[in-house]
Chain A
């Protein structure tokens, strides 16, 4: 069976003074297809290794890692696509809790700041609030975000101003509600984002587009927010 070399970031704040890289080799079985399969195997050998995982099929967004320098989901990454030694680090730019686990507080603070829910003060109709197929089409490529934080933690603007810049994920989700014809708070949402830090720290670096495991395009969503602001202003 093929052996695969790993170099894994290890840090236990209760024991280690500073982080270190642990080198190890793992023997693969034919059923080990995805990076997460092998991580689970390593965990069985060394239960001190900590990482998050849940659904193992790219929906829950909990196993986002920095894999060979690029953010991605361990459960969606083919082990055969990676060059060795496979270097695993926690997502960059967020505080490390332990090993491959980061503290996502800042990321979710930004997400909550865009009010990620439908605002509509009209009494709910007997049936659903209806949309035309064309209006619904606009939400494709937006609602699929799983909040794994791959994009925001790949964004230099977010690394620099995580407390002030909403970040690609938050802005994609902001546009998801701005674009929703059932939402009534579009003006407040645009007001909330019209800020040199919250929106305009995006300098279209497009790392977010490169790493999104769901192949979404936050840069395009941010562009559409700016288009609407221009439309509103002139």
Chain B
């Protein structure tokens, strides 16, 4: 392959925007979760189960984790772009991280709806 510097992939604004929006979602969830914990009174299996039995908590928790994974994807991709120079290795790492994050998302859903 010819060794020339190539730029101009024409993406970036959506990820940049998504990173901000997911950041806001995570901040909002942190406040919600802190409030829920404080309102829990005694922390035991029953109160914990009751908290996660609520549909709002489940859905909000799922949205939180999806936001976290998207946010993490953009951040990790930036790190790879800075530090991993060989294209093949970088592509492999990208694929690995995407697959891992999709797996985590499925796992979160499974945990949340199993409770």
Interface, chain A (partner B; CB < 8 A): 160-161, 163-164, 191-192, 194-200, 203, 226, 229-230, 233
Contacts and interface: CB of A to CB of B under 8 A. Distances in A.
B38 interface: no
Given A160-B82, A161-B82, A198 B8 contact: yes
Contacts of B7: 164, 195, 197-198
B5 interface: yes
A61 B14 CA distance: 36
A196 B78 CA distance: 8
Contact of B16 (A191, A198, A226): A226
Given A164-B5, A195-B8, A226 B13 contact: yes
Interface of B: 5, 7-17, 77-78, 81-82
Contacts of A192: 8
Contacts of A164: 5, 7
B19 to A, nearest CB: 10
Contacts of A226: 13, 16
Q: A interface, by DSSP: helix, strand, loop or mixed?
A: loop
17 contacts: A160-B82, A194-B12, A194-B13, A195-B7, A195-B9, A196-B15, A196-B78, A197-B7, A198-B7, A200-B13, A200-B15, A203-B78, A229-B13, A230-B13, A230-B17, A233-B13, A233-B14
A190 to B, nearest CB: 9
A233 B12 CA distance: 11
A203 B11 CA distance: 16
Contact of A191 (B10, B14, B15): B10
B82 A200 contact: no
